[in-house]
Structure 1
Amino acid sequence: MIHPQRTSAGAERADIVVRVAVYPEDGEPEVTEISAANPRSATAKFTGFVMEKVRQGGGKVPEGAVREVIENLVHAGYRGVVISVLEGGDKVRVSDRGPGIADKHRALEFGFSGATPEALREIRGVGAGLGIARAVAEKAGGTVTVEDNLGGGTVVTIDAGRAERREEESGGAASREEGRAKRRYPDGVPRLNISERQQRVLITVLECGEVGPSTVAELLEISVSTAYRDLLSLEENGLVVSDETGKRLISPLGRDYVEALIDTWVK
Structure 2
Amino acid sequence: MGMIHPQRTSAGRDRAEISVRVAVYPEEGEPEITEISASNPRSATVKFTRFVMEKVRESRGGVPEEAVREVIENLIHAGYRGVVVSVLEGGNKVRVSDRGPGIADKRRALEFGFSGATPETLSEIRGIGAGLGIARAAAEKRGGTITVEDNLGGGTVVTIAATSRKDADENAATRSGGEGRVGKRYPDGVPRLDISERQQRVLVTVLECGEVGPSTVAEMLEISVSTAYRDLLSLEENGLVVSDESGKRLISPLGRDYVEALIDTWVK
Q: Report the TM-score, using the length of structure 2 for normalisation.
A: 0.87
Looking at structure 1, the residues matched to 35 and 165 of structure 2 have their Cα atoms a distance apart, in angstroms, of 33
Closer/same/farther in 2, CA of residues 98 and 177 from structure 1, 3 Å limit? same
Please say if 1:80 is aligned against 2:82.
yes
Closer/same/farther in 2, CA of residues 215 and 14 from structure 1, 3 Å limit? closer
Looking at structure 1, the residues matched to 153 and 167 of structure 2 have their Cα atoms a distance apart, in angstroms, of 30
Q: Which residues of structure 2 form unaligned runs of 5+?
A: 1-14
Counterpart for residue 264 of structure 1: 265
The answer to whether the Cα contact below 8 Å between 2:178 and 2:184 also exists between their aligned partners in 1 is: no
The code of the aligned residue for 1:190 comes to: P
Please say if 1:185 is aligned against 2:186.
yes
The answer to whether the Cα contact below 8 Å between 1:110 and 1:135 also exists between their aligned partners in 2 is: no
Residue 183 (structure 1) shift: 3.4
Residue 73 (structure 1) shift: 0.3
Pairing 1:90-105 to 2, within 5 Å after superposition? 90-105=92-107
Looking at structure 2, the residues matched to 140 and 65 of structure 1 have their Cα atoms a distance apart, in angstroms, of 10
Aligned residues: 249
Counterpart for residue 244 of structure 1: 245
Looking at structure 2, the residues matched to 32 and 186 of structure 1 have their Cα atoms a distance apart, in angstroms, of 48
The code of the aligned residue for 1:226 comes to: T
Please say if 1:253 is aligned against 2:254.
yes
The code of the aligned residue for 1:183 comes to: K
Looking at structure 2, the residues matched to 118 and 180 of structure 1 have their Cα atoms a distance apart, in angstroms, of 34
Residue 241 (structure 1) shift: 0.8
The answer to whether the Cα contact below 8 Å between 1:140 and 1:266 also exists between their aligned partners in 2 is: no
Pairing 1:167-186 to 2, within 5 Å after superposition? 179-180=180-181, 183-186=184-187
The answer to whether the Cα contact below 8 Å between 2:62 and 2:164 also exists between their aligned partners in 1 is: no
Counterpart for residue 59 of structure 1: 61
Residue 130 (structure 1) shift: 1.0
The code of the aligned residue for 2:246 comes to: T
Looking at structure 2, the residues matched to 48 and 216 of structure 1 have their Cα atoms a distance apart, in angstroms, of 29
Residue 149 (structure 1) shift: 0.5
Structure 1 stretch 93-102 or stretch 115-124: which is displaced more?
115-124
Counterpart for residue 203 of structure 1: 204
Residue 228 (structure 1) shift: 0.4
Residue 197 (structure 1) shift: 1.0
The answer to whether the Cα contact below 8 Å between 2:22 and 2:86 also exists between their aligned partners in 1 is: yes
1:133 aligns to what SS in structure 2?
helix
The code of the aligned residue for 1:240 comes to: V
1:19 aligns to what SS in structure 2?
strand
Pairing 1:121-140 to 2, within 5 Å after superposition? 121-140=123-142
* Counterpart selection for 1:38 from 29, 37, 40: 40
The code of the aligned residue for 1:27 comes to: G
Moved over 6 A (4+): 163-166
Residue 165 (structure 1) shift: 9.7
Residue 96 (structure 1) shift: 0.3
Deviations 1:149-182 (A, max 9, x none): 011000000000359999xxx9xx79x9875487
Identity of aligned residues (%): 84
Counterpart for residue 68 of structure 1: 70
Looking at structure 2, the residues matched to 62 and 190 of structure 1 have their Cα atoms a distance apart, in angstroms, of 28
The code of the aligned residue for 1:131 comes to: G
1:85 aligns to what SS in structure 2?
strand
Residue 184 (structure 1) shift: 2.3
Pairing 1:148-167 to 2, within 5 Å after superposition? 148-162=150-164
The answer to whether the Cα contact below 8 Å between 1:90 and 1:160 also exists between their aligned partners in 2 is: yes
Structure 1 stretch 133-142 or stretch 42-51: which is displaced more?
133-142
Counterpart for residue 27 of structure 1: 29
Residue 67 (structure 1) shift: 0.6
Looking at structure 2, the residues matched to 115 and 138 of structure 1 have their Cα atoms a distance apart, in angstroms, of 24
Structure 1 stretch 189-198 or stretch 227-236: which is displaced more?
189-198
The code of the aligned residue for 1:216 comes to: V
Q: Which residues of structure 1 form unaligned runs of 5+?
A: 1-12
Q: Report the TM-score, using the length of structure 1 for normalisation.
A: 0.87
